[in-house]
Amino acid sequence: MKVGDVVRCVWPDSFSDYEGQSGIILEINQWVDKGAPDRNFGIDVKVLWSNGKVESFDDSELDIIEVVDED
């Protein structure tokens, strides 16, 4: 998963605003809780959706549907 990839939300019941829409990854941020780095960490992915909204998701909530060519 990288900036520019096209994704869809894999949890449509939780995020019904994004059901059936595609989005483009704008930013990927890895984070670690300094107080508990061994168990509290993750990846936030900022997505621009086809409805114009920008929202952050956990990487497990997204599925890549088109990979951007790096050439």
Average pLDDT over every residue of 6-34: 82
Q: Is the dihedral of CA 67, 3, 52, 23 positive or negative?
A: positive
The predicted pLDDT at position 68 comes to 76
- The confidence band for 71, taking pLDDT boundaries of 50, 70 and 90, is low
Please give the full DSSP string across 18-64, using - where no structure is assigned: GTT--EEEEEEEEEE-TT-TTT-EEEEEEEEETTS-EEEEEGGGEEE
pTM of the model: 0.78
The predicted pLDDT at position 70 comes to 67
* pLDDT tens-digit map of 26-67: 999 998 888 887 778 888 999 999 889 999 998 888 999 988
